[in-house]
């Protein structure tokens, strides 16, 4: 895919949102805010169960960065006015 100059110059703020799914599972949503528009998206989510290993953490971090290099975070799921809407859409897409 060829990106336009405007896509290449977009800036994003990344942040994580955490949710306890149950007593054994923790989910980390990898979120972005488009600095120009103030809109939100969820790039991906990672699930953790005990025991959490360094290999697992490193692998998930590598996948996050590789995906960000390959495509804009907003190409995957769209733009939302709130982070709650973005998380809800992500959950529906990957249920």
Q: What is the pTM of this model?
A: 0.86
**pLDDT exceeds 80 at position 77:** no
Q: Is there a contact between 50 and 30 (Cβ–Cβ < 8 Å)?
A: no
**Percent of the residues in the chain that have a pLDDT greater than 90, as a whole number:** 78
Residue-wise DSSP of 11-65: -EEEEEEEEEEETTEEEEEEEEEETTT--EEEEEEEEEESSP-HHHHHHHHHHHH
* pLDDT tens-digit series, residues 36-65: 999 999 999 999 999 999 999 999 999 999
Domains of the chain, residue spans: 11-93
Q: How far is CA 12 from CA 50, 56, 72, 83, in A?
A: 32, 25, 9, 14
Measured distance CA(88)–CA(90) in Å, rounded: 5
């Amino acid at each position: 895919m060829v990106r336009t100059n405007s896509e290449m110059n977009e800036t994003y703020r990344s942040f994580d949102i955490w949710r306890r799914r149950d007593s054994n599972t923790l989910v980390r949503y990898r979120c972005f805010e488009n600095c120009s528009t103030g809109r939100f998206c969820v790039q991906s989510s990672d699930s953790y169960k005990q025991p959490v290993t360094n290999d697992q953490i490193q692998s998930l971090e590598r996948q996050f960065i590789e995906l960000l290099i390959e495509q804009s975070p907003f190409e995957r799921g769209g733009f939302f006015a709130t982070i709650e809407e973005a998380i809800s859409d992500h959950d529906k897409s990957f249920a």
